[in-house]
Structure 1
Amino acid sequence: MSARVVVVGGGPGGYESALVAAQLGAEVAVVDRDGLGGAAVLTDCVPSKTLISTADFMSRFFAAKGLGVQLAGSPEPGEIARADLPTVNERVKSLARAQSDDVASGLERHGVRILRGTGRLDGPQRVVADLLDGGQETLDADVVLLATGARPRELDTAQPDGERILTWQQLYDLPDLPEHVVVVGSGVTGAELAHAYLGLGSAVTLVSSRDRVLPGEDADAAQVIEDVFRRRGMTVLNRSRAASVTRTGDGVVVELTDGRRVEGSHAVMAVGSVPNTAGIGLEESGVALTPSGHVQVDGVSRTSARGVYAAGDCTGVLPLASVAAMQGRIAMFHSLGDAVQPLNLRAVAANIFTDPEIATVGWSGPALEQAGIAAETVMLPLATNARAKMQNVHDGFVKLFARAGTGIVMGGVVVAPRASELVFSIALAVQTKLTVDQVAASFTVYPSMSGSIAEAARQLHTRAF
């Protein structure tokens, strides 16, 4: 008899686990409320990166002069290109819907049953699905995978209204381009959305409670982004914490804790997220939660309840779609008896879609120092890279960390256009424990941005390992 697998939630952790379970011969059902792909596809990653892609495309017009290109019929810089926001937003939502449909079609091709509704546990190996059509179905399972995701955190003093005070999930129905966006929060989401609206033509103020934007990222990389933001006209308020956000008819006022007021047409709240774990029978079924409400999991995605696994943002492990998907796959490999290795967070590649992008993988410099691991570092500015010069790229760098004595690549940072693509070579080196000599011995195209990665590896060889 085939194993019965029930997945609660259709985001990356859910649909990837369902695909693996189906491929391993299980009988699989997915209970999903909002649409396959979850927030990552419908309201977060896919929409925001599509918006950013539009802003980045617009920036090419403004950069044309530096490449010797003159655009006819554009006497004023502001007339070169304009964003028609309703059209932009319709494209964003259309792409999200198409991606969601593709995910659903992929599951159906593999024989996965999809139930539209909300799932809750009724014991560790039983899921009750409250269906959107008003019905209810009870699903007994050998394995349950929780992938319920998270939602934007809301402040009592800054309640979103979907019109002027917005979460990152409420951006795509705006009728016009905001005149002045105040972004509260300078983490990854805040920095990306600030970059997007600046590129689309809005005035942007970024309110950061820390000393710099992107406080959790490589300090050199964050400094590059902050410098670029300021140079392009963004107002960045460091060490400035928002106390409240209120609507003023056709605008907003952000009150800072030091008494200052920032006025704008819209406010975007990017102050973290809250796991969707309340009220679905988890603790009653023996699933332990952390004080923050996240599901506790081990390296193979097991919870404290027999036969129950969890993946994605509801676990609080690392809020990345790629990590959620890997957690889901690992859960199914483990629960269905296939070969599996625990989740390796030291090999995770991540990207911030600003301009330039910031891509990281493996150990960071501070983490190596804190762990007492002796390492050598090389950082090469892109300003010396021939391809970067050809493309008029002035900002960015490549940084590699290698273990002293062996030269094994421990991690890296790439700040560059399309850094998300460039970092893969470093990710391979980290995952397979390549040495800098092995990286340096691999051919790169000349001229290319990736040549700087090989050059950094060559420079690390000159250090006395």
Structure 2
Amino acid sequence: MVQAYERKHRIVVLGGGPGGYEAALAGAQLGAEVTLIERSGVGGAAVLTDVVPSKSLIATAGAARAVRESGNLGVQAFLPGADGKPIRPEIALNLAAVNKRLTAMAAAQSIDMQTTLEDAGVRVVHGDGRLDGPNAVLVSTASGGEGTDFDRIETDTLVVAVGARPRELDSAKPDGERILNWKQLYNLTTLPEHLIVVGSGVTGAEFANAYRTLGAEVTLVSSRERVLPGEDPDAATVIENEFKRIGMKVMSKSRAESVTRTDSGVLVRLADGSTIEGSHCLMAVGSIPNTVGIGLRAAGVELTDSGHIRVNKVARTAVPSIYAAGDCTDFYPLASVASMQGRTAIMHALGDFVRPIDLRNVAANVFTHPEIANVGWNERTLADATGMARSVQYTIPLNINPRAKMMGIKDGFVKLFAWEASRTVIGGVIVAPRASELIFPLALAVEHRLTVDQVASAFAVYPSLSGAITDAARAMHASQL
């Protein structure tokens, strides 16, 4: 008797960023036949030109800040003269060496990720891909120009994870030398004398903070009333005050109309007619999805007006065989969310158990100094929610925390949100150094619907910054008695 051959489920992943990487890895681990198509390198922009190098640059700035501010803790980080003042710089920065390290580390991470995929059985193809209907992809390893031959790969499930790229304005085109997007910063070999940052969202705020900390003069041009307009208002106020404390010039309610080159640098013209001159300009005005020209509409995939792919909570598009993950979708543009989308898409396609992604449980972070971390409901979403149960909140400042005092931390806070009746923790905001690490207990509380009393009863190390979380929970409990 001849045994029937059972063909493996075929998966093609278009794009190797966090979402595509996790989708490919999950598919291979679950026994599917997986092909990953990536143009630049496994890890995509997140690893090669965005998250990995930018957060590494921020870590370098943090090291410089720690040395510079160590005097507050009694550490002398310079050779003093007779008058006690430094006779040589406290720190010296070699930006060329810094950027060389960042790019080398990003490349090494990309290679490690590709090796992991290949060891798991994923076929990695370096080239350009586009959809040929809902169940096939055309791939070219050449330039993709006219007359290029494409290989056709058929698939049962397709995951589109093509990411996004920096948004460019016609009046401020990056040239890679003086007018830059965030991918081009790593080409700099010397610290900008005066960096003008246009855009005060997360990207603009993080780079402005890092470069000012490294020693550059920085002007931050914000079209909004305050920096980080999408964050908790109290948190944004702390960050803006810190920016001003370290000598950054913050120009609120100032919209940049154009950026042009001058003989010695750049000229930024504002909507009110005034101008700012600097040595370099970073354009941080958002991103656009890489969804044009890859056959999505022809395959039946629905796109938003902005070009993002519409997906549901299991990362599925309007076409049953096509899923999407990451910044090219209309979901939350975070690497962690992209990874979860990628895993969820494959598990759903292969019939595994799936929990739909709940964006209210997503923890996010702004890597300024101090950092802002948040999860769940916040003041804005609660204010917009009509007909919901009443909520309560409590804020505890960090300057009363003993570990914060030991570390010289004067600014920051922990803020908790809970439903009034059930006392279930529904959200939180932490402003502190390494808030990205401190938010995890609150993410667990929100995910598993813990009450304020359950959080308050957990043991925190004394002294510790995490103790501020239990302190806030206990204070919230006492306030409701």
**When the two structures are superposed, what TM-score results if normalisation uses the length of structure 2?**
0.95
Higher deviation after alignment, 73-82 or 150-159: 73-82
Q: Which amino acid aligns with 2:244?
A: R
Q: CA RMSD in A?
A: 1.2
Q: Is residue 401 of structure 2 the alignment partner of residue 385 of structure 1? A: yes
Q: Contact 1:6/1:144 (CA < 8 Å) preserved in 2?
A: yes
Q: Is residue 49 of structure 2 the alignment partner of residue 39 of structure 1? A: no
Which residue in 1 is equivalent to 2:187?
173
Q: Aligned partners of 1:77 and 1:360: how far apart in 2? A: 43
Which of 176, 181, 197 is matched with 1:183 structurally? 197
Which residue in 2 is equivalent to 1:400?
416
Which residue in 1 is equivalent to 2:139?
129
Which residue in 1 is equivalent to 2:120?
110
Which residue in 2 is equivalent to 1:90?
100
The 1:205–1:72 alpha-carbon spacing in structure 2 relative to 1, beyond 3 Å, is closer
Deviations along 1:178-230, one digit per CA (max 9) or x if unpaired, are 00000000000000000110111100000000000000000000000000000
Which of 50, 62, 69 is matched with 2:75 structurally? 69
**Counterpart mapping for 1:163-312 below 5 A:** 163-312=177-326
User: 1:373: Cα distance to partner?
Assistant: 3.5
Which of 409, 429, 433 is matched with 1:417 structurally? 433
- From the CA coordinates, give the structure whose radius of gyration is larger: 2
Equivalenced residues, count: 465
SS at match of 1:7: strand
Q: Aligned partners of 1:373 and 1:202: how far apart in 2? A: 48
Q: Which amino acid aligns with 1:122?
A: D
Which of 160, 165, 169 is matched with 1:146 structurally? 160
Q: Aligned partners of 1:357 and 1:293: how far apart in 2? A: 31
Which residue in 2 is equivalent to 1:79?
89
Q: Contact 2:78/2:90 (CA < 8 Å) preserved in 1?
A: no
Which of 12, 15, 27 is matched with 2:21 structurally? 15
Is there any run of 5+ residues in structure 2 with no aligned partner, and where? 1-6
Q: Aligned partners of 1:246 and 1:72: how far apart in 2? A: 40
Q: Aligned partners of 1:178 and 1:312: how far apart in 2? A: 32
Q: Aligned partners of 1:121 and 1:106: how far apart in 2? A: 26
The 1:97–1:77 alpha-carbon spacing in structure 2 relative to 1, beyond 3 Å, is farther
Q: Which amino acid aligns with 2:280?
A: H
User: 1:77: Cα distance to partner?
Assistant: 8.7
User: 1:19: Cα distance to partner?
Assistant: 0.7
User: 1:369: Cα distance to partner?
Assistant: 2.5
Higher deviation after alignment, 293-302 or 212-221: 293-302
Which residue in 2 is equivalent to 1:321?
335
User: 1:317: Cα distance to partner?
Assistant: 1.0
Q: Aligned partners of 1:12 and 1:77: how far apart in 2? A: 47
Q: Contact 1:364/1:411 (CA < 8 Å) preserved in 2?
A: yes
Q: Aligned partners of 2:302 and 2:183: how far apart in 1? A: 28
User: 1:446: Cα distance to partner?
Assistant: 0.3
Which residue in 2 is equivalent to 1:432?
448
User: 1:78: Cα distance to partner?
Assistant: 7.6
Q: Aligned partners of 2:315 and 2:93: how far apart in 1? A: 43
Deviations along 1:401-438, one digit per CA (max 9) or x if unpaired, are 01111110000000000000000000000000000111
User: 1:70: Cα distance to partner?
Assistant: 1.4
Q: Which amino acid aligns with 1:291?
A: D
The 1:154–1:40 alpha-carbon spacing in structure 2 relative to 1, beyond 3 Å, is same
Which of 357, 361, 376 is matched with 2:392 structurally? 376
Which residue in 2 is equivalent to 1:53?
59
Q: Which amino acid aligns with 1:89?
A: N
Q: Aligned partners of 2:229 and 2:11: how far apart in 1? A: 40
Q: Aligned partners of 2:87 and 2:335: how far apart in 1? A: 38
SS at match of 1:284: coil
Q: Aligned partners of 1:419 and 1:54: how far apart in 2? A: 17
Q: Aligned partners of 1:414 and 1:321: how far apart in 2? A: 20
Q: Aligned partners of 1:233 and 1:464: how far apart in 2? A: 42
Q: Contact 1:403/1:409 (CA < 8 Å) preserved in 2?
A: yes
Which of 130, 136, 139 is matched with 1:120 structurally? 130
User: 1:240: Cα distance to partner?
Assistant: 0.3
Q: Aligned partners of 2:320 and 2:461: how far apart in 1? A: 52
SS at match of 1:285: coil
Q: Contact 1:240/1:256 (CA < 8 Å) preserved in 2?
A: yes
SS at match of 2:91: coil
Deviations along 1:241-265, one digit per CA (max 9) or x if unpaired, are 0000001032001000001101100
Identity %, equivalent residues: 57
SS at match of 1:18: helix
The 1:42–1:397 alpha-carbon spacing in structure 2 relative to 1, beyond 3 Å, is same
Q: Aligned partners of 2:77 and 2:308: how far apart in 1? A: 52
SS at match of 1:412: strand
Q: Aligned partners of 2:142 and 2:94: how far apart in 1? A: 35
Deviations along 1:256-288, one digit per CA (max 9) or x if unpaired, are 000110110000000000100000111011111
Q: Aligned partners of 1:160 and 1:52: how far apart in 2? A: 22
The 1:77–1:37 alpha-carbon spacing in structure 2 relative to 1, beyond 3 Å, is farther
User: 1:135: Cα distance to partner?
Assistant: 5.8
**When the two structures are superposed, what TM-score results if normalisation uses the length of structure 1?**
0.98
